[in-house]
Amino acid sequence: MSIDPNTGRRAVEARLATTTNPRHQKMLTTLAAHLAAEADTSLQGLMDTLVDEPSYHMWANGADYGPKGYRAVADYYTQLVQARRGHLEYLIERIVVDDDTIVTEGFINAYQPGAAARQFGFNVERIDATYLVAYRALVLWPFDAEARLLGEDGYASFNPDSAVAVDPADLPESYINLFDPAEYAAVGIGSR
């Protein structure tokens, strides 16, 4: 399966193209920039779309695991990049917009090293392999008066037994390029 990290951004831009409300246009533009920065793993680009002290709420199993505050959110994204969990696509099926919030819903597909997949909650056999994981995600994106993101409120659901080991020959170069050759064996890439 091929993963396109820009899928979510394009869905938001398609909605923007049919939106006439100026406030909603500004919000959709900010969200598209945020998703583009995620795809590019640009920490500065991500943080530029947020208020000074953002608050993330990531709900799972009745608890909020989201970072709060600028430093905690920046650390969260840094750890996401370091764990190589950022190579994902958000297949947005629904976008709802009001004057304060955008809601997106769809499936997220991601390549994850075994250790990251296990930490996320998937039951994986080996940590020295790469897995394709999928989960349903609903994200509420709240905005301030200037159309900057106040944070994210995310809800996810997945089957912990659904992760599929990916043959190293099927891994895309964009994922492989996230790793130093010395790390290949630890994530099941193999020698190149």
- Domain ranges within the chain, ordered by starting residue: 7-185
Structural class in CATH, domain 7-185: alpha beta
Stretch 85-104: mean pLDDT: 93
Per-residue pLDDT at 178: 83
Per-residue pLDDT of 103-153, as tens digits, reads 999 999 999 889 889 988 999 999 999 999 999 999 999 999 999 999 999
Strand 149-157 with 50-60, pairing: parallel
**Whole-Å CA distances, 68 to 54, 58, 150:** 6, 11, 10
**CA 177, CA 67: separation in Å to the nearest integer?**
28
Mean pLDDT over 155-174 rounds to 92
Q: Residue 85 above 70 pLDDT? A: no
Backbone angles phi, psi at 189, to 5 degrees: -80, -35
pLDDT greater than 60 at residue 155: yes
**Which of 12-26, 62-76, 105-119 is the most confident on average?**
12-26
pTM for this predicted structure: 0.91
Cα 44 to the center of its chain, rounded Å:
16
Characterise 152 by phi-psi region: left (phi > 0), alpha (psi -120 to 50), beta (else). beta
Average pLDDT over residues 173-177: 85
**Which residues contact residue 90 at a Cβ distance below 8 angstroms, ignoring those fewer than 6 apart?**
7, 8, 11, 35, 104, 106, 107, 108, 137
